[in-house]
Amino acid sequence: MTVMTHTMLKGSNVPVDAAAVRAVLRWTPGTGVPDVDASALLLGASGRVRSDEDFVFYNQPRHPSGLVRRLPKRSVADGLTDTVEADLGALDASVDQVVIAASSDGAAFEQVPDLRILLFDAAYADGEPLAVFDVRPETGEETAIICGELYRRGDGWKFRAVGQGYPTGLIGLATAFGISVDDSEASQGAQDPAGPGPLPAAVPPPPSVPPEIPAPAGTGPDAQATVQHQQPSYGYPPQAAHPAAVAGTHQPAYGYPQPAAPPAYGYPQPAAAAAHAPDPHFVLPPQGPQFVRA
How far apart CA 177 and CA 146 sit, in angstroms, is 12
Look at 52-56, 59-63, 205-209, 239-243 and tell me which has the smallest mean pLDDT. 205-209
pLDDT at 118: 97
Asked whether the predicted pLDDT for residue 203 surpasses 50, the reply is: no
Q: Average model confidence (pLDDT) for the chain?
A: 77
The pLDDT assigned to 181 comes to: 80
Average pLDDT value for residue range 240-265: 47
Q: Give the confidence band of 4 by pLDDT, cuts at 50, 70, 90.
A: confident
Which of 105, 119, 176 lies closest to 149 in space, CA to CA?
119
Q: What is the pLDDT of residue 3?
A: 73
- C-alpha 107/C-alpha 34 separation (Å) is 6
Please determine, for residue 224, whether its predicted confidence score (pLDDT) is greater than 90.
no
Q: Report whether pLDDT(169) > 50.
A: yes
Q: Is the pLDDT of residue 233 over 60?
A: no
- Say what the pTM is: 0.64
**221, 225, 229, 230: CA torsion to nearest 10:** 160
Confidence label for 200 from pLDDT (cuts 50, 70 and 90) = very low
pLDDT of residue 125: 82
Termini Cα distance of the chain: 116
